[in-house]
């Protein structure tokens, strides 16, 4: 079942250690088949070098395991909630990457300070509310998804334009149209968090990126008037040459 998606999710998970985004088993990637209403996620606590595509677990949008011999990631309820409330995303990543976690632990948004940020995230990356004692005891992982959704609603943020959030005192979640793109966004977030930390140590004044420069960099990559990169025909031709 969903063999191609399992391979896609497996490949995306294997990028996390390669990109320096996870230590030990501290992270996971999932990907969804919207037509079937099912998603595939990494199993819980299995070392990356022991994983295979067949180890990926298939889960429905009620959070129930449909196929798989291993327990799914402990963060499965968070992924489930995000897929149900962010209908256009196709992949989700959670890591404990240190620079992003530093902002989460400090209960701080990751601010838009430079064009590296603006190329991927249209606003500050929000630090969602810390979970209460009651929320943790009731449904820790499910309520983690709820505080992310609540934060985006309260701040009137577009989840496609800012495809990331921090959970206070926990860590980052990113998403995208595919599992691979969600991983890309996770790496960009970690790079931006490190850059911001150093910038804020060097200059304590308001160094937010001006809106006009943020707009320029975000919209040159996104939207109908984007012009960064190559057109689809050129990209497909290049991919064909690479595969020969």
Identified catalytic residue from 54, 158, 215, 228: 228
Catalytic residue among 11, 119, 129, 139: 119
Our answer to whether residue 228 is catalytic in this structure is yes
Using alpha carbons, list the distances in angstroms from residue 31 to 47, 71, 227. 19, 16, 28
Q: Please identify every residue annotated as catalytic.
A: 119, 228
């Amino acid at each position: 079942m969903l063999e191609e998606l399992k391979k896609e999710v497996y490949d995306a998970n294997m990028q996390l250690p390669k990109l320096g985004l996870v230590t030990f088993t501290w992270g996971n990637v999932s990907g969804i088949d919207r037509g079937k209403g099912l998603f595939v996620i990494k199993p819980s606590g299995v070392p990356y070098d022991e994983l295979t595509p067949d180890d990926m677990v298939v889960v429905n949008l009620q959070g129930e395991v449909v196929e798989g011999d291993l327990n799914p990631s402990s963060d499965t309820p968070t992924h489930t909630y995000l897929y149900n409330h962010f209908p256009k995303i196709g992949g989700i990543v959670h890591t404990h990457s240190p620079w992003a976690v530093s902002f989460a632990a400090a209960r701080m948004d990751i601010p838009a300070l430079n064009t590296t940020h603006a190329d991927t995230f249209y606003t500050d990356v929000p630090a969602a509310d810390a979970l209460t004692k009651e929320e943790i005891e009731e449904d820790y992982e499910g309520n983690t998804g709820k505080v992310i959704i609540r934060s985006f609603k309260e701040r009137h943020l577009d989840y496609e334009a800012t495809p990331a959030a921090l959970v206070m005192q926990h860590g980052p979640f990113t998403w995208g149209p595919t599992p691979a793109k969600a991983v890309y966004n996770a790496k960009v977030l970690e790079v931006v968090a490190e850059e911001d930390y150093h910038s804020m140590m060097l200059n304590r004044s308001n160094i937010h990126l001006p809106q006009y420069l943020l707009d320029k960099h975000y919209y040159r990559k996104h939207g109908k008037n984007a012009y960064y990169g190559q057109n689809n025909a050129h990209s497909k031709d290049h991919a064909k040459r690479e595969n020969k």
